[in-house]
Structure 1
Amino acid sequence: MIIKPKLQFFSAIIAFSLFIGLLIGVVSQAQWLNNLNLAGQQLIQHRSIFADAFFTTITHLGSVIVTSTLTLLLSLVFIVRRQFRLLRFLLVNVVLFAGVITQLVKYLVRNPRPMPQLISENGYSFPSGHTMIAILLYGTLIIIIQAHLQKQLLKQLATSICFALIIIIPISRIYVNVHYPSDILAGLTLGYSLLIMSQNIFHIGGQHA
């Protein structure tokens, strides 16, 4: 996520434009979006005992309990080390963007979840809250790790784990059928654009490190 500022800005604009396109598709109940969702579900939802156990476990890594606990622990570390800029960066991304903004969009769009579900989930579908928290929490960690962790091997390992979670948590939401693929893509694109905006506001990573 450490890329040239102009390219970074351009990628965020593209991501947000894609989110707007998905939003319009959901609101208008476009056929192309239905086709996209069906194709994504058919690609991912190949059920087996192992896959059921794996994805139902992975999906909890984006739950409120897990992410709240991790956010609290990270916040305490930043407070003890007096790294208040990193603290603000984390809290804006997780609490404001992944929390408040996600719920606001869900309430305004009010798109129902798919059925039947492998695990029980309530509330609205668009965008995926787990996907938003995945990219905004674990994406925040990637940016901080890249900017502040010195040991290359540890940096690469931690970055790879966070990146894997950004990918696998959203996939798990489609697998357990609590979100449509369009919900996942909306969470990724909106989350990414907000993350890049926040990174530039707080001057974390890249040429600001």
Structure 2
Amino acid sequence: MLNKQKLQLLCASIAFSIFLGLALGVFLQSEWIDTVNHFGQQLIQKRSPIADTFFTNITQLGSVTFTSFVTLLLSAFLISQRQYRLFLFLIVNIAISAGLMTQLVKYTIKNPRPSAQLIPEYGYSFPSGHTMVSILLYGTIIIFVRLYITNTWLKNSMQFLFLSLIVIIPVSRIYINVHYPSDILAGLALGYSLLMLSHYIFNIGEQT
């Protein structure tokens, strides 16, 4: 267990270092950030009517409205099961890490969003709030699945589903052009580091 906790902290440290590098690059308007953004946009923004429909719908699974609804359902379940430590783990991840921390960084960096958006979005761009919410909410759910689901097939299927959302929702933000790839990478790195940190602090065990 001790080695696993050390690995979690190491992974969190590496992810946070990646976030800091991206934040510094964006803040200083470095050329390598422009290169990363251009490459990512060229790779993902292959427009078609089917892709437009898919990504404009899938991006809603990371919206404040939908994720708040999911968080309320999970909170009610955890409280009904008297799992107060897991409830606090969820709230810290969503309210503090995905909510407060995201806004703090956004208003520190103050990076504008890209233009010509498929869905109008406002506010600052870095890091992606949808990406932060995705990895922190659906990552938390994956941890809960490992705790509560004993059927191997169901457990693996649910983990694959939520891991897919952690990937597809951030990609959708680039596709609909409301975020730069650097915003997404930063959201993934910061979100992952905060998830691993809270996992360590709350000492959430996992069934194997």
* TM bracket (short chain): over 0.9
Q: Contact 2:8 / 2:197 at 8 angstroms: preserved in 1?
A: no
Residue 120 (structure 1) aligns with:
120
Q: TM-score, normalised by structure 2?
A: 0.96
Deviation string, structure 1 residues 77-107 (Cα, Å, up to 9, x no partner): 0111111011000000001110111011101
Structure 1 stretches lacking a partner, 5+ long: none
Give the secondary-structure state (helix, strand or coil) at the position aligned to 1:157. helix
Q: Contact 2:8 / 2:200 at 8 angstroms: preserved in 1?
A: no
Structure 2 stretches lacking a partner, 5+ long: none
Residue 168 (structure 2) aligns with:
168
Residue 181 (structure 1) aligns with:
181
Q: Contact 1:98 / 1:132 at 8 angstroms: preserved in 2?
A: yes
Deviation string, structure 1 residues 132-168 (Cα, Å, up to 9, x no partner): 0000000001111112321111111111111000000
What does 1:37-52 correspond to in 2, within 5 Å?
A: 37-52=37-52
Shift in Å, 1:10: 1.4
Find the aligned partners of 2:94 and 2:162 in 1 and give their Cα distance: 15
The one-letter amino acid paired with 2:71 is T
Find the aligned partners of 1:179 and 1:66 in 2 and give their Cα distance: 19
What does 1:145-156 correspond to in 2, within 5 Å?
A: 145-156=145-156
Q: Contact 1:114 / 1:178 at 8 angstroms: preserved in 2?
A: yes
Q: TM-score, normalised by structure 1?
A: 0.96
Shift in Å, 1:21: 0.2
Residue 27 (structure 1) aligns with:
27
CA RMSD of the aligned region, Å? 1.3
What does 1:65-76 correspond to in 2, within 5 Å?
A: 65-76=65-76
Find the aligned partners of 1:17 and 1:95 in 2 and give their Cα distance: 23
What does 1:1-209 correspond to in 2, within 5 Å?
A: 4-206=4-206
Shift in Å, 1:206: 4.2
The one-letter amino acid paired with 1:96 is I
Number of matched pairs: 206
Find the aligned partners of 1:86 and 1:10 in 2 and give their Cα distance: 23
Shift in Å, 1:5: 2.3
